[in-house]
Structure 1
Amino acid sequence: MLELAGIIILGILAQWVAWRLKLPAILPLILIGLIVGPLSTLYTEDGSKIIEPIWNGDKGLFPGEGLYYFVSLAISIILFEGGLTLKRSEIKNIGPVITKLITLGSLTTFFGAALAAYFLFGLSWQLCFLFSALIIVTGPTVITPILRNIPLKKDVSAILKWEGILIDPIGALAAVLVYEFISVGEGQAYTVTALIEFGKILLFGFTFGFTFAHALTFLIKKNFIPHYLLNVVSLSVVLGVFVMSDVFAHESGLLAVVVMGMVMGNTDLPNIKELLYFKESLSILLISILFILLAANIDIADLELIFTWKTIALFLSIVLIIRPLGVFLSSIGSNLKFNEKLFISWVGPRGIVAAGIASLFGSKLLSKGEAGAEYITPLVFMIVLGTVLLNATTARV
């Protein structure tokens, strides 16, 4: 009970500090998570963490994979709230750029980051591509606070917002396919499995998202849901859609809730602002809890593992070479000015989806004895923390 209350209090305190300093809240949240997690083993009497997210012996908050179930459900709410804010009117002039960013830009990161990880850390190609798939995503949890504090042209702001929300399910899909490749093995068996999984994710993600978005919109417009239950009914439907879609196709739930949010956000829905305010408040609370938990779940040995110049070289190659390359390729033929392309290249912080899925897949591969799997979680967290710190302190310059 003390740990749970402490996480919520520390999380909201971090949000307030971030507001005062005009920083993305993810930065103080991760730092708090590291302090009460792996770093606390350096100063506690018995060498244990102050907060242990996964049940270990007689201490811990979540048994088994309970932490990752909680993370998945929380991410579904955050992405639905992000989808609600996406308006078609914002992308009249920049639709092609956004499309290329989430396709060509994703491929550039996927192959570029994998090459960098392979030559710097010598991991297997499978693990290198898993790492690169995980860091494809930017995210609304970190993009939104940065945009809120910086006056930008409407088109530039819209590009960053749309990319951050739409690319989350794409990165998750890529990570799932690579994970299946590692689990199933190379050859024809994997190819068939990957094609089936890819098709199922698209089919069930779009189907569930569109269907339930229109169904919930109909119920709201026809006043079948009383006003005082509107927010909680919407929340339960989002969770239900996420879980049902995931049952039919693993990781399709993320796509389903983003589609559901986009459809509802672009309909003439009464009380949409009230729903947005509720989801925004809930997202802030969930983000506060999630980042502390995921950072606390890292072990001190993981941090020591990446305490090397190779980590800095990997980070710089992603920020200074791979991200700009993807942005400039994606914006060829657009109306964006050079300095706008440069700004979009610079602002590419990673967020909760990368951190959450990295923790899940990293631990699963470790339990299977996959050589080099211990690098996945700390390397992804290094990219998350590094990009957020860099963008939060320099984006306004």
Structure 2
Amino acid sequence: MIALASLVILGIVAQWFAWRLKIPAILPLILIGLIGGPISTLFTADSTKLIEPIWNGVEGLFPGESLFYFVSLSISIILFEGSLTLRKKEIKNVGTSISKLITVGALITFIVAGISARYIFNTSWEISFLFSALIIVTGPTVINPILRNIPLKRDVSTILKWEGILIDPIGALVAVLVFEFISVEEGHAFTKTVFLEFGKIILFGFTLGFTFGLGLIKIVKNQLIPHYLLNVVTLASVLSVFVLSDSFAHESGLLAVVVMGMVVGNADIPNIKELLYFKESLSVLLISILFILLSANIDMSDLYAIYNWKTVILFTVVIVIIRPLSVFVSTYKSSLNTNEKLFTEDKINKIINPTPA
């Protein structure tokens, strides 16, 4: 009980400090998780963690795979909250740049990062491109606090917000396809599997997301639920569409909640602001808990494993070469000036999402 309460308290304290210091909340949250997790094993008498996310037979907050289920459901809520704010009228001037960032930019990151990982760490091509597929994914977990704390030109703010949300299901899709490539050895079988998985994710993600979105709009407009149940019914709908879609096609749930959020967010329904406030508060709480849990789940052996010069080189290549390249190519001939492109690249570097897609 104390551990669970501490997660919430420490998470909110970290959010407050981040607001006061004008820094991404992810920084103090991860620091708290590392101190309460792997670093604490250096000081405790029996080398146990102060925060043990997974039940180890003696202590722990989540038994078995429960932690990862909690992470997945939390991400679905966070993505839905973010997609509620994606309005079509916002992208009149920057729609092309956003499209290129989540396609051309993602492709550049995938290819160049994969090649870099291959030659820096001397890993197999399969593992190298699985790594590059994973770092395609950014997310709204950090960008929203940045947008709140730093006054930005509208176009820059819009690009960062849309890219951070839309790239999540795309990155998850790429990661799934790369994993299928690793799992399936024969070329013909792989091609068949790729088309099947891709089709299922797109079909169920869009269909269920759009259907649930329209259904929620109809329920709200026709006042089929009382006002005090609006937020919790919406929450239940988000979890339902995520789980249902994911049960038909693995990782399609992320796409479904994003589509649902965009459908609802662009509809003219009453109480939309109240719904946004509730989801924003819930997202802040979930983000706080998630990053503490995930960083606490790291072991000291993992930290030692990445503490070498190869990691520094790869990190530098991604931050200094790959990310700027993807942003500058994607925003070529756009309305953004050089400083705004550099700012966009810098913020994209800071919103790499360590949560599983």
**Is the Cα contact below 8 Å between 1:140 and 1:164 reproduced in 2?**
yes
Residues 116 and 161 (structure 1), Cα distance of their counterparts in 2 relative to 1, 3 Å cut: same
Give the SS at the match of 1:347. helix
1:168 corresponds in structure 2 to 168
Alignment TM-score, normalising by the size of structure 1: 0.88
What one-letter code is carried by the residue in structure 2 that aligns with 1:28?
A: P
Question: How far off is 1:153 after superposition?
Answer: 1.0
What is the percentage of aligned positions where both structures have the same residue? 69
How many angstroms apart in 1 are the aligned matches of 2:25 and 2:337? 30
1:142–1:349 CA contact under 8 A, matched in 2 = no
Partner of 2:38: 38
1:176-215 superposed Cα distances (whole Å, 9 cap, x missing partner): 1122222333522222111110110011000011111011
Counterpart secondary structure, 2:356: helix
Which amino acid in the other structure matches residue 203 of structure 1? L
Instruction: Name the counterpart of 1:378.
Output: none
Q: Distance in 2 between matches of 1:275 and 1:24?
A: 24
Q: How far does the alpha carbon of each residue in 1:153-177 deviate from its partner, in whole angstroms, 9 at most, with x for none? A: 1111101110001001111111111
2:190, 2:297 → 1: CA distance? 31
Maintained 8 Å contact 1:106/1:326: yes
Higher mean alpha-carbon deviation, 246-255 vs 184-193, is at 184-193
Q: How do 1:94-133 and structure 2 match up within 5 A?
A: 94-133=94-133
1:362 match? none
1:54 aligns to what?
54
Residues 57-114 of structure 1: per-residue CA shift (max 9 Å, x gap):
2121112211111000000000000000111111101111100100000001111111
The equivalent of 2:331 in structure 1 is 331
Confirm or deny: 8 A CA contact 2:164 2:351 kept in the other structure: no
Tell me the equivalent position of 1:357: 356
What residue in structure 1 maps to residue 280 of structure 2?
280
Partner deviation per Cα, 1:328-356 (whole Å, 9 max, x = no partner): 1111232222222222122214558x422
Match of 2:270 in 1: 270
For residue 13 of structure 1, report the CA deviation from its aligned partner.
1.1
For 1:1-397, list aligned pairs within 5 A: 1-349=1-349, 351=351, 354-357=353-356
Equivalent position SS for 1:3: helix
> In the alignment, is the contact (CA less than 8 A) between 2:319 and 2:349 conserved in 1?
no
User: One-letter code of the match for 2:329?
Assistant: L
Deviation string 1:100-140 (CA, Å, 9 cap, x unpaired) is 10000000111111111111111221111111111112211
What SS class does the counterpart of residue 161 from structure 2 fall into? helix
SS at match of 1:41: helix
How far apart in 1 are the matches of 2:130 and 2:294?
Answer: 19
Task: Answer whether contact 1:12 1:285 (CA < 8 A) is retained.
Answer: yes
**Distance in 2 separating the partners of 1:50 and 1:301:** 17
- Identify if the C-alpha distance between structure 1 residues 94 and 344 changes in structure 2 by more than 3 Å, giving closer, same or farther: same
CA contact 1:209–1:259 (8 Å) conserved in 2? yes
Superimposed CA distance per residue, residues 273-302 of structure 1 (whole angstroms, 9 cap, x where no aligned partner): 000000001001100110011101111000
Relative to 1, partners in 2 of residues 1:350 and 1:337: Cα closer, same or farther, differing over 3 Å?
closer
Deviates further, 250-259 or 121-130: 121-130
Unaligned runs of 5+ in 2: none
Residue in 2 aligned with 1:376?
none
Contact 2:19/2:149 (8 A) holds in 1: no
Amino acid of the structure 2 residue aligned with 1:269:
I
After superposition, the C-alpha distances for 1:245-264 in whole angstroms (9 at most, x for unaligned) are 00010000000000100111
* Aligned counterparts of 2:168 and 2:92: Cα–Cα separation in 1: 22
Separation in 1, partners of 2:197, 2:245: 13
C-alpha distance in 2 between matches for 1:104 and 1:39: 39
Q: How much is the aligned-residue C-alpha RMSD, in angstroms?
A: 1.3
- TM-score calculated relative to the size of structure 2: 0.97
Distance 1:258 1:350 in 2: 21
